[in-house]
Structure 1
Amino acid sequence: MTRAPARWLPAEGVTVRGSVVVLPGRGEHPGLYARLGTRLAADGYRVAAVSSPGDVAAELRGGPVPVVLLGSDAGAVQAVTLAAELPVHAVVAAGLPLSADAPADHSWAGELDARTACPVHRALLEADEHLERGALAAEPADLPAVLPRVPVLVLHGEADVIASPKAARAFAEMLPAGRFVLVGGGRHDVLNDVHHRSVAAEIVQFVEWLRAGTRGPVLVRG
């Protein structure tokens, strides 16, 4: 079912630092990204989650730069595909389904365990009437033949049983400007898993690096 985009804006008076367009994964809808959208908006980013790749171009018009496509699962494949066609500055691809795996337990309990260990997000999924249960069994689209030349952050859960972390790492290494981050213990819905705060922070650091034009976040440790 197609749903209207969901949007989160920085608070009044906060400098807008860029635009993030979110493409949900199989079975998901824009409303499931409220936690991530709210957090990114608090850091100054205008965020829109769409239910169809066809909605992305409209969200890009007049948006503050840099513009980042952020996709999860099949939405990550769509983000990588669209980045070769649309005027975007970077991509964040989370849980890229490059292997044809599905939960070993085909029940809803098995799918839920494969998706996330976060109790808050699990409760949200359990109560959501619009989530398409069983959707992870569907084959995602193939990656495009032409890969994006913009920077791509590939985020993947170490404990993802839906999509191979090894395949995601290999994909990142093929990209002209790829960066791979493995989330320890993370499951498939890595944007909405236990470490969602750290993952959101990684995304913000990545976009700040993009804004600064440096090779990575400017951090001093020790």
Structure 2
Amino acid sequence: MTLAAPAHWAPPGGTTVRGTVVLLPGRGEHPALYHRLGTRLAFDGYRVTTGEADPAGPAPVVLLGHDTGAVRALELATRRPVAAVVASGLPLGEPGDWADELDARTACPVHRALLDGDDRFAPGELREPAAGRVAAPDVPVLVLHGEADRVAPAEAARAFAATLPAGRFVLVEGGRHDVLNDVDHRSVAAEIVQFLETLRAGTRGPVLVRG
């Protein structure tokens, strides 16, 4: 994970805080690249922070990691009092054959332009091996992965999710590696919000409105 100044997104004034999401970026990234996701989750009532050292806040506290940040989130969940983990783009299995990093990361023109013009973004780090043991915490884990991820194969992430005590795998059709910031980032954010709401409701599946 690239070290950078922490970032925070708070729900709008007067909004009841529904929980805390601790964001852990991946290789080459920094927290500010997740402004769209942080803003969306905050709008839905969740406090979003990058304070990994002490993941505390209004419950439920959920760790949300991408790439090596997802590996870190899974490991932290085995020894910290968190309610769940969202793991995006887990760097498992043999990496694919890719040449252009921007193209491998995302098809979203807004995010591509952001990465291309950001001097804090560290290109080339995806070529480095992903270090760290991949832990299997007992808490619920939402595993998100892009179908077209050339950095890490989706099937390896699916197989890992199947081994978890409370894992759920979601494949984003056509999604690339930075699935949280790809073309379908709104739908992915909605999937995360739905997952967070199931935690609050104490259910193991989607919360449905029944007439």
TM norm. shorter chain > 0.5:
yes
* 1:88 matched to 2:82: yes
What is the CA distance between 1:191 and its match in structure 2?
0.1
Corresponding position: 1:166 with 2:155: yes
Deviation string 1:122-176 (CA, Å, 9 cap, x unpaired) is 01001000111101001112334x5200000000000000001000000000000
Distance 1:38 1:84 in 2: 28
Give the structure 2 partner of residue 27 of structure 1. Answer: 28
Cα distance in 1 for residues equivalent to 2:131 and 2:201? 33
Give the match for residue 98 of structure 2.
104
- Give ranges in structure 1 of 5+ residues lacking alignment: 50-54
Counterpart in 2 of 1:219? Answer: 208
Q: Equivalent residues in 2 for 1:11-22 (5 A)?
A: 11-22=12-23
Match of 1:143 in 2: 133
Q: Deviations over 1:166-194 (max 9, x none)?
A: 00000000000000000000000000000
Which residue identity lines up with residue 138 of structure 1 in the other structure?
E
Separation (CA, whole Å) in 2 of partners of 1:128 and 1:99: 29
Is residue 205 of structure 1 aligned with residue 201 of structure 2?
A: no
Aligned to 2:115: 125
Q: CA deviation at 1:57?
A: 3.1
CA contact (8 A) 2:107 2:176 kept: yes
Q: What is the SS of the residue equivalent to 1:56?
A: coil
Matching residue of 2:164: 175
Residue number in structure 2 paired with 1:6:
7
Equivalenced residues, count: 210
2:197 and 2:207 in contact (8 A); partners too: no
DSSP-derived class of the 1:169 partner: helix
Aligned to 1:195: 184
Residue range with higher mean Cα deviation, 134-143 or 193-202: 134-143
CA distance in 2, matches of 1:212, 1:198: 21
1:76 aligned partner: 70
**Counterpart for residue 37 of structure 2:** 36
Identity, in percent, stands at 67
TM-score, with normalisation over the residues of structure 2? Answer: 0.95
Please give the per-residue CA displacement for 1:45-74, whole angstroms capped at 9, x wherever unaligned: 00013xxxxx4133x23x000000000011
1:57 to 36, 53, 56: 53
Task: Specify which structure has the higher proportion of helix.
Answer: 1
Q: Partners in 2 of 1:100 and 1:29 — Cα distance?
A: 25
> Which position in structure 2 is the counterpart of 1:46?
47
